[in-house]
Amino acid sequence: MEFHVQPGGALRGRLRVPGDKSISHRAIMLGALADGATCISGFLEGEDALATLRCFRAMGVDIDGPHQGRVTVQGVGLRGLQAPGAPLELGNSGTSMRLLCGLLAGQSFDATLTGDHSLSRRPMRRVIDPLTAMGAVIESAGAGTAPLTVRGGQPLHGIDYELPVASAQVKSALLLAGLYASGRTCVTEPAPTRDHTERMLSGFGYRVERDGSRVCVEGGGRLQGGEIEVPADISSAAFFLVGASIAEGSDMTLEHVGMNPTRTGVVDILRLMGADIQVQNERVVGGEPVADLRVRSAPLKGIAIPEHLVPLAIDEFPALFIAAACAEGETLLTGAEELRVKESDRIAVMADGLNTLGVTAEPRPDGMRIVGQPEWGGGRVHSHSDHRIAMAFTMAATRARDVIHIEDCDNVNTSFPGFVELTREAGVAVARQ
Ligand SMILES: O=C(O)C1=C[C@@H](OP(=O)(O)O)[C@@H](O)[C@H](O)C1
Ligand SMILES: C=C(OP(=O)(O)O)C(=O)O
C-alpha cells in the first residue's frame, strides 16, 4: 500500500492520537504476571501492541478486548504462564521481542520468538549477552538475530550491569528477568531512557530502587494488578507537532499526550529550533504526566541537536529531520547511531528520501547534516516498511511543490492505526493507493 500526499495544507483543530505503544506493551506484560485483574484503558490497538497481547493469550492468559481501547487482563501471577503451543509471532515489534526475552528467561518452559523481515535483522545480542550472564539460555537461529529460543527451567541470579548503549528495551528485559532472579539485578544507564517499566512495576506494588542512573529490583516479590490509563503516544503526536510547525497557518491542539520527561526530547528540540508549542492542562494520570499540546506554525532555525536529548527523542528523528529540512540554516545530529538499527536504517532511509525531494541531507555514521530550504519538490520515496518513515514524509508534503508518493506504508498500523484519517481531518490530503 502507498500513500499519495497532495502538496500544501495547514493543520488545524483538536485531536487525540492513539495510546502509547511502550506503555501498552508493558500493561499487557505486567498485567499478565500480576495477581488479580488489570483493567487498561487507552490501549494502543496497533499491530505491535496486539502482537504482545496475542503472545500472552498463547501462554494461557485470559485477556478480554480490546474494545475501544479497553482491555482486561486476568493476571496469572509470576509463575502462572503456560507453554505456548507454537512459536510466538512478534511481527515488527522490537520492544516485544527484547522484553519477552527477559520475561521468558525466568519461565519453566521453552518458547521460540519470531518476527518479520525487519525484526529478524535487528540486533538481539544486546539482550542475549546480559541475560546469559544471569543464567539464561537463549539460542539464536542466526548471528544474534531472531528466531530466538528461550530455554526454560534455568535458575537466574541477579547481576550488576552497565548498559553499553542507552536502551530502555535492554534495561526492561533485565528488570523483568530480575523478577525471577535470586538476589538483586541492577542496571546502570549511560543516559536516561524511558522509565515506563520502573514506573509500572512500582505502580503494581513491586519495589524498585533508583539511585541516579542505577536501577535495581530484587527477585521474589509479587505484582498486584490494577487500573492503567494509557496516555496518547507522544511519538505519534510528534508527526503533528512537526507538521503544524512547518505548515503555514497551522494551529492545532493534541490532547492527553504522555509527557514523561524521558520522552519529551522532541518538544525540547523543536522549541530550540523556534517552534511554538504550549504545554497546557498538565496533570498526572496513572503515574504518568499528561498534557495537551497546542502547536502553531513558526519559522524554524537549524541547530546542533544536544546529544543528551537523543535518547529522549529516539523515535522522533524521522519527523525531526523533516523539520530540519525547512529550518533556516543547518541542523546537525550526532550521537545517534542507534537510528541505524531500528525498523529500518533511519539515517540512510531518511537521507535518501530527502535527497529525492531535492533537500541536502548528508548521512553520517552517527547522525545527519541537513541544510534547510523553504520548500522542496515532490517525488517517490520509499519507507522501507518503516512506519515512522512513512508518517514523516506524509508531513513533508506540507512544504512540497508537487505530490509525494510514499511506498510500502502498511506498517503504519504497527504504531498508529487511523493515521490517514486523523491526518486528513487535521488538513493534509493523504490517500491510500
Ligand atoms: O522500551 C521501549 O518501549 C522502547 C525503547 C526504544 O528502543 P531502544 O531500547 O532500542 O532504544 C524505542 O526506540 C522503542 O520504540 C520503544
Ligand atoms: C523502534 C521502534 O519500535 P520497536 O523497537 O518496538 O520495533 C519504534 O516504534 O520506532
pLDDT digits (tens, 9 = 90+) for 102-131: 999 999 999 999 999 999 999 999 999 999
* Whole-number pLDDT of residue 152: 97
- Give 155's DSSP letter: P
Q: How far apart are CA 223 and CA 186, in angstroms?
A: 19
265 appears as a binding residue in the annotation: no
Per-residue pLDDT, averaged over 209-225, amounts to 98
Q: How far apart are CA 344 and CA 183, in angstroms?
A: 38
Task: Judge whether 429 and 9 are in contact, CB under 8 Å.
Answer: yes
* Whole-number pLDDT of residue 286: 84
Q: Which three cell numbers mark 263? A: 520522552
Residue among 169, 170, 201 to mutate when testing ligand 1 (max atoms within 8 A of CB): 169
**287-298, pLDDT tens digit by residue?**
899 999 999 999
Sheet (strand 208-211) strand order: 160-162, 184-188, 214-218, 208-211
19 appears as a binding residue in the annotation: no
Judged against a pLDDT cut of 90, whether residue 326 lies above it is answered with yes
**157-191, pLDDT tens digit by residue?**
999 999 999 999 999 999 999 999 999 999 999 99
Q: Is 384 left (phi over 0), alpha (psi -120 to 50) or beta?
A: left
Cα pseudo-dihedral 323, 325, 330, 334, rounded to 10: 70
Fold of 3-19+231-432: UDP-n-acetylglucosamine1-carboxyvinyl-transferase; Chain (3.65.10)
Give the distance (Å) from ligand 1 centre to CA of residue 329: 30
Amino acid present at 335: G
Task: Name residues contacting ligand 1 (CB within 6 A).
Answer: 22, 95, 167-169, 172, 194, 314-315, 338
Residue among 25, 48, 101, 167 to mutate when testing ligand 2 (max atoms within 8 A of CB): 48
Known catalytic residues? Answer: 315
Judged against a pLDDT cut of 90, whether residue 75 lies above it is answered with yes
Per-residue pLDDT, averaged over 227-239, amounts to 98
Reference 177, options 210, 132, 140; nearest CA is: 132
Name which residue sits closest to atom 11 of ligand 1, judged by CA. 167
| Residues whose CB falls within 8 Å of the CB of residue 275, separated by 6 or more in sequence, listed in order | 241, 245, 295, 298, 300, 323
Q: Residue 386: nearest ligand to its CA?
A: 2
- β-bridge partners, 12: 251
Q: How far apart are CA 75 and CA 60, in angstroms?
A: 10
Per-residue pLDDT, averaged over 299-327, amounts to 98
Per the prediction, the chain carries an average pLDDT of: 98
Q: How far apart are CA 24 and CA 66, in angstroms?
A: 11
**377-404, pLDDT tens digit by residue?**
999 999 999 999 999 999 999 999 999 9
- Kindly indicate the confidence band of residue 225, based on its pLDDT and cuts at 50, 70 and 90: very high
* Whole-number pLDDT of residue 287: 87
* Whole-number pLDDT of residue 392: 98
Per-residue pLDDT, averaged over 272-286, amounts to 97
Look up the pTM and report it. 0.98
CATH H superfamily, domain 21-229 = Enolpyruvate transferase domain (3.65.10.10)
Judged against a pLDDT cut of 90, whether residue 68 lies above it is answered with yes
Which atom of ligand 2 is closest in space to residue 388's alpha carbon? Answer: 10
**250-261, pLDDT tens digit by residue?**
999 999 999 999
Name which residue sits closest to atom 4 of ligand 2, judged by CA. 94
Q: Cα–chain-centroid distance for residue 381?
A: 23
Name which residue sits closest to atom 8 of ligand 2, judged by CA. 315
Task: Judge whether 210 and 197 are in contact, CB under 8 Å.
Answer: no
Q: Residue 313: nearest ligand to its CA?
A: 1
| Residues whose CB falls within 8 Å of the CB of residue 194, separated by 6 or more in sequence, listed in order | 22, 168, 260, 262, 263
* Whole-number pLDDT of residue 106: 98
Q: How far apart are CA 26 and CA 19, in angstroms?
A: 12
Distances (CA, A) of 145 to 122, 127, 141, 402: 6, 11, 7, 41
CATH 3.65.10.10 maps onto the chain at 3-19+231-432, 21-229
Which atom of ligand 2 is closest in space to residue 93's alpha carbon? Answer: 7
Which atom of ligand 2 is closest in space to residue 415's alpha carbon? Answer: 9
Reference 115, options 94, 85, 101, 129; nearest CA is: 94
